[in-house]
Amino acid sequence: MTKTSFDLVVVGGGPGGYVAAIRAAQLGLSTALVERAELGGICLNWGCIPTKALLHSATVLRACREADHYGVTGAGAAQPDLPAMVARSRKVAGRLGQGVAHLMKKNGVTVFAASARLAGGGRVALDNGATLSARHIILATGARARELPALPVGERIWAYRQALTPPALPKSLLVVGAGAIGAEFASFYRAVGAEVTLIDMTAEILPQEDAEISALARKAFEKQGIRVLTQCAVKSSSLTATGVKAVLEQQGKQIELEVERVIVAAGIVGNVEDLGLEQTRVKVEKTHIVTDGLCRTAEPGVYAIGDVAGAPWLAHKASHEAVLCVEAIAGLPAHALDPLRIPACTYSHPQVASIGMTEARAREHAKATGGEIRVGKFTFAGNGKAIAMGEDQGLVKTVFDARTGELLGAHIIHPEASELIAGYGVAAALEATEEDLMHTVFAHPTLSETLHESVLAAFGRALHG
């Protein structure tokens, strides 16, 4: 007979939910995980992982086309095989999904393939008729793509699932939303040959990033042939014989655009429906569950982590919340997650990565507190390894508190930005000052030397710039 009583029930098997289940099992809590679709959630199956697989295919394609520059002949005529790229991305996602299933079994987590709903009194009702009971319940139900009335998703208007499994390469494409998801799809489809238009309602692409970095990203995108329209929105759309006609509005001016396909990447909404929340004290604001620093909701014994609990909507934020939430439940010392110490990465070409405050936000903070900031910049054009790799375009930017030397923010644009940002992540976690970073020895020749040089530049000591 299947067990139905547990110390902890986790609802949702994404990077927040499955990590919570593993950590709970490690701490000796009897644990159940309820997942209605695939283990690994959207991130592993339809988000982070398959998009990175496609983007890496695009990187390989670019390398082949530029091979002559490196003294390698014969590869310049390389062409994309879109079905093969898609098949590989699905295989990668499938392999990792099997890995999560193995981890559940290895750690003794009982998995229920079902939808779940809070039933009160520490009970969770499943749609297969079973009822589970637990002293603690973690909601990790994630989020889904925001729908736009002017762009109903269908055969020609895609959300991320359709964009990840295209039946054929569209000759022309409109990407609505220039955040991380939109920027990544624009980069991929442009690399494999589509004519891409990328639009956003804000004044710049990647609006959450430092303004200087966003401007450099826009310049790089436009150099690749991506048409970028900012302060632009879709007013209406209609299907044509060959695609979609969209009516755009940019600062009062209407623009008609005909494309074969449209990708909608205009943000997300939390999956809070059909969870039984209306019978609890759980509060929902703007489709996200309200929690405290230890992921507790207003309902005793009910917690929420990951995308359903609000920004930043990042897999690694969900996993970190999972661990701190479970450790708090188990009575271990736990500390609230500081959003300013969560790195963000966009895997476009070039990549953009950041942690902490933008320069503008740091200046506002300094003005409010009577302090000052110091800003350091170093371009990859001054880095030997970057020049040797042929990837010498990009910038590292650091922002410090002038008085204390605290690292307030770091921002990178470069093809390897997502790997490099980890250095500043460790520095922020250890509360390293500018002095600590200046005294750190970075290997030569490496791209990471740019991290050092940017710090030196903030204090007037750059050696190579």
Residues known to be catalytic: 444
- What are the angstrom distances between the C-alpha of 408 and each of 20, 27, 279, 358, 437? 30, 35, 42, 8, 13
Q: Is 220 a known ligand-binding residue? A: no
Q: Is 180 a known ligand-binding residue? A: yes
Which H or E run contains 52? helix 48-65
Find out whether 457 and 379 touch, Cβ atoms under 8 Å: no
**CB 120: neighbour CB atoms within 10 A?**
11
For 221-263, give the DSSP string. HHHTT-EEEESEEEEEEEE-SSSEEEEEEETTEEEEEEESEEE
Q: Is 93 a known ligand-binding residue? A: no
Exposure letters 359-385 (e unless 16+ CB within 10 A, then b):
beebbebbeeeebebbbbbbbbebbeb
**CB 355: neighbour CB atoms within 10 A?**
24
**Taking the mean position of all CA atoms in its chain, how far away is CA 335?**
23
Contacts of 377 (CB under 8 A, 6+ apart): 395, 396, 397, 398, 454, 457, 465
Distance CA 18, CA 16 (A): 6
Q: Is 181 a known ligand-binding residue? A: yes
**Taking the mean position of all CA atoms in its chain, how far away is CA 149?**
25
- What are the angstrom distances between the C-alpha of 449 and each of 211, 216, 464? 24, 21, 10
Bridge partners, 104 (sequence order): none
Q: Is 183 a known ligand-binding residue? A: yes
- What are the angstrom distances between the C-alpha of 235 and each of 202, 232, 246, 248? 15, 9, 8, 6
Q: Is 307 a known ligand-binding residue? A: yes
Cα dihedral value 252, 258, 262, 268, nearest 10 = 10
Q: Is 145 a known ligand-binding residue? A: no
Kindly give the pairing relationship between strand 143-145 and strand 268-270: antiparallel
Q: How far apart are the first and last CA of the chain?
A: 69
Q: Is 276 a known ligand-binding residue? A: no
For 420-431, give the DSSP string. HHHHHHHHHHTT
For 297-351, give the DSSP string. -SSTTEEE-GGGG-SS--HHHHHHHHHHHHHHHTT-------GGG--EEE-SSSE
- Give the annotated binding-site residues for NAD(+): 177-184, 267
Residue ranges for the binding site for FAD?
Answer: 52, 307
